[in-house]
Amino acid sequence: MATEALALAGINALYADSHVLHDVSFSFNAGRVLALLGRNGAGKTTCMSTIIGFLPPRDGEIRLFGEPIGRLMPETISRKGVGFVPQGRRIFPTLTVRENLTVARQSRGGAAKPWTLDRVCELFPGLKGRLQQPAGSLSGGEQQMLAIGRALMGNPRLLLMDEPSEGLAPRIVAEMRRTIARLKQEGQSIVLVEQNIKLALDLADDVVMLNTGRVAFAGSVDEVRGNEALITQHLGVF
C-alpha cells in the first residue's frame, strides 16, 4: 500500500483580513512529484508558506506522512523532514557556499543514502570549487543550485520547491530539470511550484491547479497533458 507523503484537508489561510486559501484539500503519495500550478496570485506560494509553517492555517489539517504538522513552528516542521527551496533563492550572501550548506545540515535516521556536503557537490559539481566563496558572488544559476543543496542538507522527507527555474537561462533550466528528475528517481517526494508549465508537466506525476485560492483541479499528469481547454481555463497558457 502506498504511503501518503502530504495531505491538506480543508485549509483556510488569511493574510490580515484577506482570505487567501479557501478549503484547500489535496494529497499525494511518497516518492512522487506533485506540480502545484496556477496563475500569478492564485495562492501557490501562500500554500507553500502554509505547509512550511510561515503562515499558520486558520483551520484545516496538514499531515506529513500521517503526522499532523499544521500548528507547528517552521523550525519544528523542518526538523520533522520538510525541506524548502524558496522563490528568489534567499541564500545567505555573506556566508561562504560551505557555510550555507553546513548551517542547514540535519541527520535523519533511516535515510538510505543521506545527503552530505560531498553528495551535494557531486550533484552540483559547479559548487565544489566555490566552497570558500561568499554565496553572494555566485551567478543566479549557481545560487539556485546552492538553495537546492541547502534544502537537501536537511535530508528532507518532503521537498518544497517554489519556482526553481525562475530567471534562469535555458541551459540552466535544463540542468535544473535533470536535477529534479534525478531526485525523483531516488524516491524524493517533491511539491513543485513552477510557472514553466512544460517543465512542470515533464516532471510531475500528479497535478493540483489553484484558482483564486481554491483547488480547481486535482488529478494525474496524464489528465492534464494535451488538455488544452483545462490548461487555458486555469493557467491562461498553452
pLDDT digits (tens, 9 = 90+) for 197-211: 999 999 999 999 999
Spell out the domain ranges in the chain: 91-156
Dig out the grid coordinates for 5 from the structure.
507523503
State pLDDT tens for residues 54-101: 999 999 999 999 999 999 999 999 999 999 999 877 899 999 999 999
Q: What is the pLDDT of residue 236?
A: 74
Handedness of CA 67, 9, 177, 97 (dihedral sign): negative
State pLDDT tens for residues 14-37: 988 899 999 999 999 999 999 999
On the CB side of 28, CA atoms within 13 Å amount to 23
Amino acid (1-letter code) at residue 4:
E
